[in-house]
Amino acid sequence: MQYRYQFILIVFMIVFFPKQITAQENPPIPLNVQVSTAQFLNFGSFAVDNGVGTVSVDADGTRTWTGDVKLLNTGATVSPALFDVYANPGTLVNIMHDSQFTLNGSSGQTLTLEINSYSTGKTFITSAASEIPNPVYVGGTLNIGPLSANGAGSYSGSFTLTFIQE
């Protein structure tokens, strides 16, 4: 008999004193990582004597050199590459790529490019809303041989970065 009164009391409370029950909101709809190129990597102008060296552009746009390289302040503006990454806030993204890329010169010679500088690190967490880009600046290093191997001229090429949503 006592259980019957408790059951009636519980039903009475539910019917006459309803309370809205809430739960955690659903997570945002998954959004695949989308990337667009906003700016190209450019090392500017430089000259090399008969030695070897490197020219680097960091993710912050700082250009440095080693060895027998002379930086020139003419020609194209030095810049890191800029990629706009669109993803849900809190998405873990990992940047993957080959260790080296080849750039071809106008005189048929080649240079080696290493991608090695990231404004976000190779692994980062997005923070902007999905419709706002997360900027990722990327820099690299050119490995330059002697003038006989890397003659004067314009060198160009491409590199591929893969942005992986973890």
CA dist., res. 42 & res. 103, Å (int): 12
Segment 110-152, tens digit of pLDDT = 999 999 999 999 999 999 999 999 999 999 999 998 877 888 8
Closest CA to 143 of 80, 97, 82, 101: 101
CA dist., res. 92 & res. 115, Å (int): 20
Segment 40-79, tens digit of pLDDT = 999 999 988 878 999 999 999 999 999 999 999 988 899 9
Closest CA to 80 of 38, 42, 133, 35: 42
Q: At residue 81, what are phi and psi to the nearest 5 degrees?
A: -75, 150
Residue 9, pLDDT > 70, answer: no
